[in-house]
Structures are given as structure tokens and as C-alpha cells.
Structure 1
Amino acid sequence: MISELHVVDWRRRVQRLYAHVRDVAVEDPAAAHEYWVASRDDLLAEHPASPVLPEDRPAFTGVPVGPYDASLRFEVPLVPDPARGTPDAARLDVPTGTDGVVPFERVGRLDLPGLGALDVWALRSYGGGLFVPVKDRSPATYGGGRYLLDTIKGADLGSGPSLLPDGDATLVVDLNFAYNPSCAYDPAWACPLAPPGNTLAVELTCGELVRAAA
């Protein structure tokens, strides 16, 4: 049985993992990615709070991951949604089995050159945080979409140096760090899926996959 302390430890480890990734990626994003892949595999294989089902763990040898592609790393401005904070703001209500309905509000978008745009969602309940899922057209990726940023749970690739009170807010968006949601391993999980504004009309064979890309 997964205890509350197991979940706390999982969150703590994920936070440390992403803190190290942010530090290393300043000079060597590919090395940061290599560390992330190995650390994610260790957590999924061995941690009591892993979403990988206990009966699947003996055969678990790691998640298929695409090779690092430096062209898929961006630092882009967060373009504010003009309706944010108003009754007209776009909302995403996600029903879960344990936490009721989890509310998100669209607060902006990230424009990725040559790929399209991704909506940025803010959690409008306890803890707050930003959430950026992504779905693509590759048959090798999880059909419901993957996650790039989920800051309330520690998945945070950082912000650029221009994140200043009088400047444009920027976020680091590296598609190589797209990871599978927990429901990809255990159907008992209820995961937010990528809405239309988080769907790219391209195949992305980077990040965590559900099977090796052809």
C-alpha cells in the first residue's frame, strides 16, 4: 500500500531531480536529459509510489525514450491570455477518483517556432502551479498526451533570465523532457489529458514513448 509518506518522498525526489536538471542544462542540456532519463527509470522501477503496477515491475527495464534533439529546446515568452482572471477565462475541470474535480484556468500560451503553440494552464486550487501537457501525432507516444511542465509536482524546467518584474516572463520548454502521465502505467489513475490547445500537428519522437519509434 502506498502511504502518504511514500508520496511525500516521491515528490521530494522529483523536485531534487528537476533542480539538478535545471542546473546542468545551463551548460549541457543533453547531459541533463541523460540524468533525467536514468533517474526517472530508477523512480519508476523501485519507488513505492511508482505508478508502474507491482506485477509489471519485475519486467520493467526502463521507458523507451527518443534521442536528445537540441532543436526542440526553447526559451519562449509566456503570452498572457487576455481573458485570464475573468469570468470568460477558458477552464479545464478534471475529475479525479480521490481529489474531486481539479480546476485549471488557461493563463497564456507558448509559441514554439516551427511547431505550433501550447496553452499554459494554472491550477486554481490549493498549491497553484503551472501545467503544460502536449499531444502529438506520433504513434509511438501516449495517445492521451504527455506532460512537459507540472510545477505543483516538481516538473519544472525553469524560466529564463528575463523573468523580471518589468520584463517579459519566459519559460524553458524542452520537448525532450515530455513524460508519460501515471495513467499510462496504471489505468486506475485519472490524469488530465491534453486539450486541443495543447496538440501539435507534428510527430514528436522525443521524450518518453510508449514504444520505440520506427
Structure 2
Amino acid sequence: MTLSLLDWRRRVHTLYATARAADDPEAGWAGWRSGRDELFARHPDSPLSAAGRASFTGLPVAPYDPDLRFRTRVEDAEPQRLELPTADDGVVPMDRIGTVALGDLGRLDVWWLGGYGGGVFLPLRDGSAGRTTYGGGRYLLDTIKGADLGSDDGHLVVDLNFAYHPSCTYDPRWSCPLPQAGNRLDAVVAAGEQLPAGGSWY
């Protein structure tokens, strides 16, 4: 269990490193997408239940939209700390480190997640939540777990085509920190991972 989880995390880190290195963002996204399908289908630490894995044919993903990729500056914001209880990890502290603007879609809070040595965390709940995507929202960046599209000179790469569902979408045995008020958009983000036909994985 421990070594297989280590392997899962290494593979996720590799998927994002390959995407960051790609000359063409869409090609990097395509490799990320196929790599996630492989992990979900075959890896022992797939978040899918045994029944879900048996019927799995791939993660539904919207077509790539280059207009939904942003290199955006992290702007200052009033500090805020949240402490979110989880079933498995106790209380997870999150400190707001700034905000990012995503064009006409709006602005999202950027968080520093305190567990596991810390990392940037950028969740999203948009107008598709509860309809074509998980009602609790999706993640854009979680650098602790390897979900990192790059940064430089005070900017982050935020590509909404890489929006992915947290593990709690696939099986109720998982618990996940979910987007708070500053990470909610009214607009529908028609990009990234979608729910399957029928609306649920379990």
C-alpha cells in the first residue's frame, strides 16, 4: 500500500512535469489526459472503487480550449486562514497567499496548504458544479500532489483545461478539501474533467 501510493505520486508528478515541458500546451494536456486514464484504470491506488474500475472506459474530458489557459500574476490579498476538518488527515490548515484573475471569468483565491510540508492549492467551483461536474468543485493546482503547471516572476500558469475532480468524486471513502467562497465562479467553465453519463461514479 505505502509503496504503491509512492508510485502513484511519482507518476502524477511525471505527468505534470511532462505537460510543463511540452512546447505545445494542448499536446501536454493530451499526454496528461491519457496518463490519468491509465492510472485510473490500472493502478492499485486508483480512487475508483472496484466496481467503478471494472466498468471504467476513460475519464470524460471537455475538448481543449486554448483561450482558457492563463499566465496570471498572483496579486496581494488580505491574509486569511481556514482550518478544514477531514476524515483522514485531521484538520488541514490553508492560508490565502493572493488572488489570480482569469480574464472575464473572474478572480480566484490562491492558498498555501499547510499539510505535507506545504504547497500551492487552487480549487474551483464554477457554474457547471452539480450538473456536468462534481457539485463540490474541482482542483486546478495542488502542488503537494504534483498538480503544478509552472510559475515564474510572480505568475502562475492556470490552465482550466486541466481542471480535475478530487478523489471524493469517485468513491465516498475519500475526503477532500473543497472550494470556499473565494474560489467560486458564476460562469460555466466548459473545460477539464466532467462527470460520466448518469452524473455519478458510484
Alignment partner, residue 141 of structure 2: 149
Contact 1:141 1:205 in 2 (8 A): no
After superposition, residues 68-87 of structure 1 pair within 5 angstroms as 68-83=64-79
Letter in 2 for 1:60: F
The one of 7, 14, 25 aligned to 1:29: 25
The DSSP-based 3-state class of the residue aligned with 2:31 is helix
Q: Indicate which of 58, 76, 99 corresponds to 2:89.
A: 99
Give the superposition deviation at 1:55: 1.7
SS at match of 2:108: strand
Q: Counterpart in 1 of 2:200? A: none
Is the 1:146–1:178 Cα contact (8 Å) retained in structure 2? yes
Q: Aligned-pair RMSD on alpha carbons?
A: 1.1
Match in the other structure for 2:170: 185
Q: Using structure 2 for the length normalisation, give the TM-score.
A: 0.93
Letter of the aligned partner of 2:61 in structure 1?
A: V
Determine the structure 2 residue equivalent to 1:10.
Answer: 8
Number of positions where the alignment pairs a residue of Structure 1 with one of Structure 2: 195
Deviations, residues 8-36 of structure 1 (Å, cap 9, x unaligned): 11110000110000001xx2111111111
Code of the aligned partner of 2:134: Y
Task: Note if contact 2:116-2:144 (Cα within 8 Å) is conserved in structure 1.
Answer: no
Give the Cα–Cα distance (whole angstroms) in 1 for the partners of residues 116 and 38 of structure 2. Answer: 29
Secondary structure of the residue aligned to 1:63 is coil
The AA in structure 1 aligned to 2:62 is G
| Aligned-pair CA distance for 1:201 | 1.1
Deviation at 1:122, TM superposition (A): 0.3
Shift of 1:82: 3.8
| Structure 1: 5+ residue stretches without partners | 84-89, 164-168
Question: Who is 1:206 aligned against?
Answer: 191
Q: Secondary structure at the match of 1:55?
A: helix
Structure 2 Cα separation of the partners of residues 74 and 183 of structure 1: 27
**Percent identity for Structure 1 against Structure 2:** 54
Give the greater-gyration-radius structure (CA): 1
Structure 2 gaps of 5+ residues are 198-202
The aligned counterpart of 1:87 is: none
Checking the alignment, whether the CA contact within 8 Å between 1:95 and 1:190 is kept in structure 2 is: no
